[in-house]
Amino acid sequence: MSDPAVRTVDLVKQYEGGRIHALNGVSVDVARGEFFCIMGPSGSGKSTFLHLVGALDRPTSGEVWLNGRSLSSERDLDTVRAWEVGFIFQLHNLLPALTSAENVEIPMVVSKLRRRERRRRAEELLESVGLSHRRDAVAAKLSGGERQRVAIARALANSPGLILADEPTGDVDSKTGEQIMETLLAVRRQVAATLIVVTHNPRVARDADRVMEMLDGRLRSSGQL
């Protein structure tokens, strides 16, 4: 049980045949239940790092370990994405034609849950993000803040141990952003998940257990703490 939730070892990611160095060797441990915050300028590699940790992509070299298991030995990253990680993107990425509840159900389609059970769980999750009254609204009709809260509920659908959020408040005004962060922190407390947030917002960073800064593909401790 002493394995960290996330361990990266000398993580390197290059794009376009090595012409772009997005990550230049990132080694970091994130403890279970920790709220870990990453800041840093645009283009420094924050999203790339999150994608590798979230099993959305594979590194050029180096390794990602989740709960003591190396992702590079996993043939099938789909199941890692489905069960171990909940991802919240900068742009909510909801399916606009579906309702809030249906969007939350999408990750559960992979599970063995019956339709009715999926539905019930989706409704519970929407309640926990304060959107019970909007569960049958089509995603395209939701406000920016509502969408992001639906995205939070969706990230929690399969009860992952790790939640990753890439600038979740980047696309809304600061008041809405605050509500979103409040929601995120509240539900995280309920499920006791590890949380990694990429943000430009110093107020978000203030609540974090630890803040580090990404610069030119390298992670370093932030002086701001």
Ligand X SMILES: Nc1ncnc2c1ncn2[C@@H]1O[C@H](COP(=O)(O)OP(=O)(O)O)[C@@H](O)[C@H]1O
The rounded distance, in Å, linking the Cα atoms of 141 and 109 is: 23
Interior/surface letters 64-82, b for 16+ CB within 10 angstroms, e for the rest:
bbbeeeebeeeeeeeebbb
Which of 1, 2, 16, 18 contacts ligand X by CB under 6 A?
16
Which of 20, 27, 57, 70 contacts another protein by CB under 8 A?
57
Q: Assess 20 for contact with ligand X (CB under 6 A).
A: yes
Select 21 or 32, whichever has its Cβ closest to ligand X: 21
Q: Assess 173 for contact with another protein (CB under 8 A).
A: no
Residue pair 147/113 in contact by the 8 Å Cβ criterion: no
Task: Tell me the closest approach of the beta carbon of residue 165 to ligand X, in angstroms.
Answer: 12
Which of 43, 68, 96, 202 contacts ligand X by CB under 6 A?
43
Select 85 or 208, whichever has its Cβ closest to another protein: 85
- Residue from 89, 60, 80, 122 nearest 197 by CA: 89
Query: Could you give the angle at which helices 115-128 and 174-191 cross, rounded to 10 degrees?
Result: 120
Distances (CA, A) of 29 to 51, 103, 225: 16, 32, 18
What binding mask, one character per residue, do residues 106-125 give for another protein by CB under 8 A, x or -?
Answer: xx-xx---------------
- Residue from 29, 24, 30 nearest 11 by CA: 24
Which of 7, 46, 51, 147 contacts another protein by CB under 8 A?
51
Report what 181 binds from another protein, ligand X, Mg ion, none; CB cut-off 5-8 Å by kind: none
Q: Assess 42 for contact with ligand X (CB under 6 A).
A: yes
The rounded distance, in Å, linking the Cα atoms of 82 and 208 is: 26
Q: Assess 81 for contact with another protein (CB under 8 A).
A: yes
- Residue from 129, 133, 47 nearest 90 by CA: 47
Which of 95, 133, 143, 189 contacts another protein by CB under 8 A?
95
Write out the residues near another protein by the rule CB under 8 A.
Answer: 51, 54, 56-57, 76, 78-79, 81-83, 87, 89, 91, 93-98, 102, 106-107, 109-110, 154, 157-158
Residues forming contacts to ligand X in the complex (CB under 6 A) are 15-16, 20, 22, 42-48, 214
